[in-house]
Chain A
Amino acid sequence: MNNELSFLQLVLDASPLVQVVMASLLLASLFSWTAIFERHHILNKAVREADAFEERFWSGVNLGDLYRGLDRKHEDLQGMAAVFHAGFREFVRLRDTAGMEPMAVIEGTRRAMRVAMSREMDSLEQYLSFLATVGSTSPYVGLFGTVWGIINAFHALGNVRQATLNLVAPGIAEALIATAMGLFAAIPAVVAYNRFADQVQRLEARYEDFAEEFANILQRQVHLMGEKH
Chain B
Amino acid sequence: MWALIRRYPLGFGLAAIIHLVLVAVMVFGLDWLHPPKPHRPKVQVVQARLVDARQQRTAHKRQKRMKRRRKAALERQRKLEAARKRKAALERKKRLEAERRRKVLERKKAEIEHRRRLALQRRAAEKKRKAELERKRRLEEKKRREAEAKRKAELERKKKLEAERRRKEAERKRKEAARKRAEAERKKREAELAAQLQGEKEAREREQVIAAIKRKVENNWIRPPSLHGQTLQAKVRVRVGADGSVLAAEVVESSGNPAFDRSATAAVYRADPLPMPSSARLVREFRDFTFIFKPINQ
Contact = CB atoms under 8 A, between A and B. Distances in A.
Interface residues of B, number: 20
B18 A33 contact: yes
Nearest to B11: A37
Interface in A170-205: 184
A30 B16 contact: yes
A90 to B, nearest CB: 30
Given A7-B26, A7-B27, A35 B4 contact: yes
A202 B19 CA distance: 31
A31 B16 CA distance: 9
A38 B31 contact: no
Highest count of chain B CB atoms <10 Å: which of A8, A26, A37: A37
B19 A7 contact: no
Contacts of B15: 29-31, 33-34, 36-37
B14 A26 contact: no
B70 interface: no
Given A30-B15, A30-B19, A127 B30 contact: no
Contacts of B18: 33
Contacts of B14: 33-34, 37
Contacts of B7: 38
A31 B19 CA distance: 11
Nearest to B1: A31
Given A33-B18, A37-B15, A7 B4 contact: no
Interface string A2-16: 000011100000000
B30 A7 contact: yes
Interface string B16-48: 101100100011001101100000000000000
Contacts of A38: 4, 7-8, 11
Highest count of chain B CB atoms <10 Å: which of A8, A26, A30: A30
A1 interface: yes
B19 A41 contact: no
Interface of A, helix, strand, loop or mixed by DSSP: helix
Contacts of A37: 8, 10-12, 14-15
A41 B31 contact: no
B19 A127 contact: no
Contacts of A30: 12, 15-16, 19
A29 B19 contact: yes
B8 A34 contact: yes
Highest count of chain A CB atoms <10 Å: which of B4, B14, B34: B4
A35 B10 CA distance: 11
Contact of B5 (A6, A26, A34): A34
Interface string A22-50: 00001001110111111001100000000
B19 to A, nearest CB: 6
B27 to A, nearest CB: 5
27 contacts: A1-B31, A1-B33, A6-B27, A7-B26, A30-B12, A30-B15, A30-B16, A30-B19, A31-B1, A31-B4, A31-B15, A33-B11, A33-B14, A34-B5, A34-B11, A34-B12, A35-B4, A36-B11, A36-B15, A37-B8, A37-B11, A37-B12, A38-B11, A41-B10, A41-B11, A42-B8, A184-B22
Given A31-B1, A33-B14, 16 more contacts: A1-B34, A7-B27, A8-B26, A29-B19, A30-B15, A30-B16, A31-B4, A33-B11, A33-B19, A36-B15, A37-B8, A37-B11, A37-B14, A41-B11, A42-B8, A127-B4
Interface of A: 1, 6-8, 26, 29-31, 33-38, 41-42, 127, 184
Interface of B: 1, 4-5, 7-8, 10-12, 14-16, 18-19, 22, 26-27, 30-31, 33-34
Top 3 A-B pairs ranked by shortest CB distance? Answer: A37-B11, A33-B15, A38-B8
